[in-house]
Amino acid sequence: MDRKFFTSLPFILILMVLTIIIFGNYLPLVFKEFTLSLSLICKEIIIFVLPFIIFSFVVSGLSEFQSESFKLVAILIPLVCLSNFTGLWVSYGVSSPILSNSILKISQLQPEQILLPMFEFHLPTIIKNDYALLSAIVLVFVNNFIKSKSILKFSKKANIYANFVLKKVICPILPVFVLGFIIKMQYEGTLSLMIKEYSLILLLVLVIAYGYMATIMILLCKNCKSAIIKIKNLLPSVFIGLFSMSSAAAIPTTIVASEKNLEDEKLARFVVPAAANMHLLGDCFAIPILACALMISFGHHYPTPLEYLIFSLRGVLAKFAAAGIPGGSAIIFAPILIDTFGFSADMVTAFTTIYLIFDPVATSTNVFGHGMFAILFEKVYNKISK
């Protein structure tokens, strides 16, 4: 098996979980308290740099579209938003009866005892994530009129620095960030129960996500035979996403598959890389279903349609700040879950940990969504062109 698999984040996390389940009771209390303290420090660092990352990715991502024709961009961005928004509401509509009516039983997590950190460390909040997102959008829109080369140059540098922070700061500390909270859940007696029940949640995500996207493919192709051929063309990309845990790594094969699936090969070469970081349709199912299940586990009320509407609108905007690292969507969505659903620190930790473990499957659904979206884009583009 590829060496990269054994050094990948999901494999490391699964290994950590199994190790803590087997040997957690033999670890001294002082070690557990110290490890939890380190995890909390990592959390502070991630929260501190997150506004900068959001601002940088949104500025650089939207600036890239200035080199494309206005017509393509005018279709692409609204269609991406509509697809993500629809996916979020389909996941809510289908999963709500299953989760809220206990058709899929989710137990409440009641800690047997509480693990406290040995020490705490806090960093100040310089700017809120919402303000960082809004200021980035305003900056790009203003630059559409003034055509400043300095802003374009700034956006490229910001993207370089943001990627550096992600790859050299956040990625290396993610295992440490998660380890302390895994130890905390094991100490408090909630880890085994969570793993057992959230495996069923993963299955629910897979059935709803792939069922929805396959249905869209059939509707776009007008017959099952054509849809099956297009789905078979996308399978190599889906497997690359599954085993590499990176939708970016699957872009070349997704382009090749989309060139076969589309009538115009040039559109495939534009829409797949352009929408790859914004159109994360698999996350539109994995994130809200996991979040709603955790709300039940922690004794919160199931989100109302109004609360979910606010979440979905903010979630659509957050897609423009998707981070190109394993679990990047979980990091971006964490502040939204806190503000809209009232997630506590423990809930955010559980959400991030479970999502990181399930990231390979979520990535594969995102890759399939890229191929489906390319077909949808061509249909809409051709109708508008005519």
pTM above threshold 0.75? no
150 class by beta-carbon count within 10 Å (0-12 exposed, 13-18 middle, 19+ buried): exposed
Positive or negative, the CA dihedral 136, 139, 144, 150 is negative
Name which of 157-161, 194-198, 355-359 the model is least confident about.
194-198
Name which of 14-18, 26-30, 240-244, 342-346 the model is least confident about.
240-244
Exposure class string for 301-320: b at 16+ Cβ within 10 A, else e: eebeeeebbebbebbbbbbb
Fold of the 3-385 domain: Proton glutamate symport protein (1.10.3860)
Per-residue pLDDT at 356 exceeds 80: no
At 207-257, the pLDDT tens digits run 999 999 999 989 988 788 888 889 888 888 887 777 556 676 677 778 888
Take residue 119 and report the two structure tokens written for it: 């020490």
Q: What angle do CA 123, 129, 135 make, to 5 degrees?
A: 125
Q: What's the mean per-residue pLDDT of the chain?
A: 81
* 345 vs 247, more confident: 345
Cα radius of gyration (the chain): 21
Distances (CA, A) of 227 to 243, 281, 314: 24, 18, 32
* 91 vs 363, more confident: 91
348, 334 contact by CB (below 8 A): yes
Can you give the pLDDT at residue 322? 62
Q: How far is residue 74's CA from residue 385's CA, in Å, rounded to a whole number?
A: 12
Binned at pLDDT 50, 70 and 90, residue 350 comes out as: confident
Binned at pLDDT 50, 70 and 90, residue 89 comes out as: very high
In the chain, the largest separation of any two C-alpha atoms, in whole Å, equals 70
Can you give the pLDDT at residue 91? 93
Take residue 225 and report the two structure tokens written for it: 């035979």
Amino acid at residue number 304: T
Give me the DSSP letters along 354-367. Answer: HHHHHHHHHHHHHH
| Over residues 201-212, mean pLDDT | 89
Can you give the pLDDT at residue 299? 83
Per-residue pLDDT at 192 exceeds 80: no
Can you give the pLDDT at residue 100? 76
Residue 117's nearest CA partner among 354, 350, 291, 345 is 345
Can you give the pLDDT at residue 362? 83
| Over residues 54-82, mean pLDDT | 72
Can you give the pLDDT at residue 202? 83
Q: How far is residue 235's CA from residue 253's CA, in Å, rounded to a whole number?
A: 10
Q: How far is residue 48's CA from residue 126's CA, in Å, rounded to a whole number?
A: 8
Can you give the pLDDT at residue 16? 84
243, 5 contact by CB (below 8 A): yes
Name which of 60-69, 72-81, 155-164, 172-181 the model is least confident about.
60-69
Residue 107's nearest CA partner among 190, 165, 25, 27 is 190
Distances (CA, A) of 175 to 13, 24, 121, 133, 353: 7, 17, 19, 27, 10
Can you give the pLDDT at residue 104? 66
Q: What angle do CA 354, 295, 177 make, to 5 degrees?
A: 35
How many helices, marked H, and strands, marked E, lie in the chain? 15, 0
